[in-house]
Structure 1
Amino acid sequence: MKIEIANPQGTRDDNYRQNTMKLKPWHWILSFCILCLTLLGGCVREGTDPGTLQVWAHAGQDAERQTLQAQVKRFNAAQDAVDVELTFLPEGSYNAQVQAAALSGDLPDVLEFDGPFIYNYVWQQNLIPIDELISPELRADLLPSIIQQGRYNDRLYSVGTFDSGLGMYGRRSMLEAAGVRIPTGNADAWTAAEFNEVLAALAAQDPDGQVLDLKLNYSGEWFTYAFMPILRSAGGGLIDRTDYQTATGVLNGSQSVAAMEQLQSWMEQDYVDPNVDDAAFPTGRVALSWVGHWVYPGYAEELGEDLVVLPLPNFGEGSKSAQGSWNWGITANSDNPEGAMAFLDFLLQPDEVLAMSNANGAVPATKTAIAQSPLYREGGPLRLFSAQLLTDKTVPRPQTPGYPVITSAFQEAFNNIRNGLAVQTALDRAALEINIDIEDNQGYPNVSF
């Protein structure tokens, strides 16, 4: 097994605008050809033996890297048909390096990528469908959200070994002291009006009145992932999903505007801790933290039995949550798609899914693994997150090649809203930016394979 970390000095850039994959004038492509020479470094795919599989993955947290390295070793030892060579790319510049490799024809056999990017990769014809490669048994065992995320134009292009969970964490003692009802699941989530009352009741018990952590210290994709669900819960959204041709009347429609005005009001009333030290919740400055599965180990260690996991508020059409995470696809550059699928099949065996879930705390991607997970099985402390994914309470990010521009526009709108710009104005600007991109790309016409 060969393991490399390419371009280890890459810096994190969460602004999707700079890493956008939309195809515009040819000078854009020329600039990426130049970028190819500077970014790709030692990652160029050289001629390899047909029995060798080149696999690229993001260099995430240490536990994830170590687990994937061990999985590759186990796979290589378990069979002799193919040999996986694993290369890690820095997460911050990952998409830019993949784009450079695509332009130069140097993509690996198997590629890991963040969920929403799949649709643009397919549109650029960099991924092949795997419908005829994946076994019916494995497909049936996958979470509905994994299948939903991996589908584009009625074909399946990717699978993941884990998904994400989003909700709120609360301090039970603070909630009880304020006389607040504690929801048990999505069905009895706080309404938006009730949540405003909850914040007021908690603030009355708090020295500075700041009782909510929205992870404003995060950046980039976090804002779309975390707050798109409230738009959908209110009956709005980021774009018209019937044909993905316009954001007008959806992103800047009355329902989306009302939801974001509610969020802006929490900031205006000074309920939200800026959380510059990322410690607002564990240190007890706030009673509620709006965040995902990845903080659970630290929160649980700090709070113990006082920690409670809560659904996001219901803004009118039910409590919604987010979904999506890193997943795997087979590139059009691969000479051995069957061998590539054998590797993905190995990663999705229950023991391997649980190995990765135990390493990064994410929701296991298969029903079999969830049933065996101490955190996510029935009665587990994070059952809410797996239940949301199993019962269609989560919302995928828009499944269109234009997603990089959509998320960039919404991130800009969110930052403007948090800084006091009128919500309607901010969302009008974002909708216009999205529409211009769609027009520039002729509506992102479908591709065929």
Structure 2
Amino acid sequence: MSRTHRTRRAILKLALAGTALTLTMSSALAQAVSIDFWDMIWGGPDYPVAAQALVDRYNAEHPDVKVVYRSVPWTNWYETFVTAIASGSAPDLSTGAGFQAVQLYDQGAILPIDELVAQLDPNDFVPGALDALRYDGHYVALPWAIDTRVLFYRKDLLETAGVAVPTTWQEFREAAKKLTGDGKYGLVSAGDPIGLHWVLAMAINNGGGLFDASGKPALTGERTTEAVQFLADLVADGSLNPASAGYVNDDSNGSFFRGEAAFLLQGPLLPEQAGDAKPQIGIVPPLKGPHGDVGTISWINNVMVYNQTEHPKETMAFLKWWSENALPLWTDGHVGNLPARASIAADDFFQSNPNVKFIMDSYVPVAKPMSAAVGGTFPELSEIEGDGFLLSLTQSIWQGQPIGENLAAAQAHLEELMGQ
């Protein structure tokens, strides 16, 4: 009887211990913080797979937090976010369009990340990247990738024609003119946003831009007007493929890859997309403008935190980790931009690629955002980028129209958008 009693007592203890363990585990699971991370698709099909794997790694290393990853397509991206904000179902953090953070911050939907930035080494970011995300005295997002515009050339076309790689605007114009003929053109572009990047890149290259140092619209300023006129002169020379105004990005890329044009302005990783044409693609060093200026346009892609988050501490901690451990997004996910952090850019994955290293060493340091002379960021930049008036200006240039009235109209529209 005593043995039976002891056995029953032992079984009861085991049962109670099991119940306690179950309750403890359930309590721990109930207390786990859940964070929603929405991420745009920054590459091909490999990208969301690599990003999910990175999130899985964080979750494994931080069992008290569960980050839920959602890949967001670019189609109707703006509606996706504003609808979520309006319905109270915004994510805790997300990537997004270059000026999404400041636009939504101005609407009261984004948390500043000043305390997080204070924990980071500012020297580990590309010069100007953090400042490009500063608005109203606050950092509205954390930079993670740099998208800049680079001038590429066809080695075979220049070698066959005996043309040296240009280093100045004048040399570029002469080279483009000489390389035009027999069904080939000095340069090709497009009538979509990749085309208008010529206007932004050349304006900044000449010490101009959309604004002056005080923040006033300056499309008709001396330096910007000079840059637009230079583009018009290329067209007048016959150096631009006349189909450019009707081309989209894939058309202009394809023409360049087929060797139908000698020069193309594109994103930094264009050679990686060129297939068999990759060995024939070279990089023109940043051109010197007529006043000795160098420069190009860049966009600082970033990660933002939403004020609807119920877990700001844990969200900021994940953002810090994500920023510091983002290398697999490139090595496995094949991101089309360059890293914003020097510690990631120092990896052999980038340093062993001569094209990428050259761009990081020569283009990135002289690149400036759309705010250029005035610096920082502001909500109107999102509307300026998406409005279409700069695209109309670019198409008029590619069509050979005189720049005077079209540039004045663009200036007037920019002043309207800026409320001036």
Normalising to structure 1: TM-score of the pair?
A: 0.76
The question of 1:112 aligning with 2:101 is answered: no
Match of 2:201 in 1: 229
* CA-CA distance at 1:230 after TM superposition: 1.0
Within 2, Cα distance between the matches of 1:49 and 1:430? Answer: 55
Match of 1:28 in 2: none
* Corresponding letter in the other structure for 2:294: S
Of 405, 415, 437, which aligns to 2:383?
Answer: 405
* CA-CA distance at 1:152 after TM superposition: 1.7
1:293-308 to structure 2, matched below 5 A, reads 293-299=268-274, 301-308=275-282
* CA-CA distance at 1:390 after TM superposition: 5.4
Aligned-partner SS, 1:161: strand
Match of 1:347 in 2: 322
Match of 1:191 in 2: 168
Q: Check whether the contact 2:204–2:297 (CA below 8 A) recurs between aligned residues.
A: no
* Corresponding letter in the other structure for 1:332: N
Q: Deviations over 1:15-41 (max 9, x none)?
A: xxxxxxxxxxxxxxxxxxxxxxxxxxx
Of 135, 150, 163, which aligns to 2:133?
Answer: 150
* CA-CA distance at 1:330 after TM superposition: 0.7
Distance 1:304 1:97, change over 3 A: closer
Distance 1:151 1:347, change over 3 A: same
Q: Deviations over 1:315-351 (max 9, x none)?
A: 234221222243201111112122112222222225x
The question of 1:427 aligning with 2:399 is answered: no
The question of 1:212 aligning with 2:187 is answered: yes
Q: Deviations over 1:109-165 (max 9, x none)?
A: 102112233322221122111121246345431222431332223322212332123
Aligned-partner SS, 2:400: coil
The question of 1:94 aligning with 2:77 is answered: yes
Match of 2:237 in 1: 269
* Corresponding letter in the other structure for 1:302: D
Match of 1:383 in 2: 357
Q: What is the aligned residue count?
A: 374
Q: Check whether the contact 1:209–1:271 (CA below 8 A) recurs between aligned residues.
A: no
The question of 1:256 aligning with 2:224 is answered: yes
Normalising to structure 2: TM-score of the pair?
A: 0.81
Match of 2:116 in 1: 133
Q: Rg bigger for which structure? A: 2
Of 145, 157, 161, which aligns to 1:178?
Answer: 161
Deviates more, 1:280-289 or 1:158-167: 158-167
* CA-CA distance at 1:77 after TM superposition: 1.2
Which of the pair is proportionally richer in helix? Answer: 2
Distance 1:224 1:111, change over 3 A: farther
Aligned-partner SS, 1:374: helix
Distance 1:121 1:165, change over 3 A: same
Within 1, Cα distance between the matches of 2:378 and 2:411? Answer: 15
Over the residues paired in the alignment, what is the CA RMSD in angstroms? Answer: 2.5
What residue ranges of structure 1 are gaps of 5+ in the alignment? 1-47, 184-189, 444-449
* Corresponding letter in the other structure for 1:265: D
Q: Check whether the contact 1:143–1:389 (CA below 8 A) recurs between aligned residues.
A: no
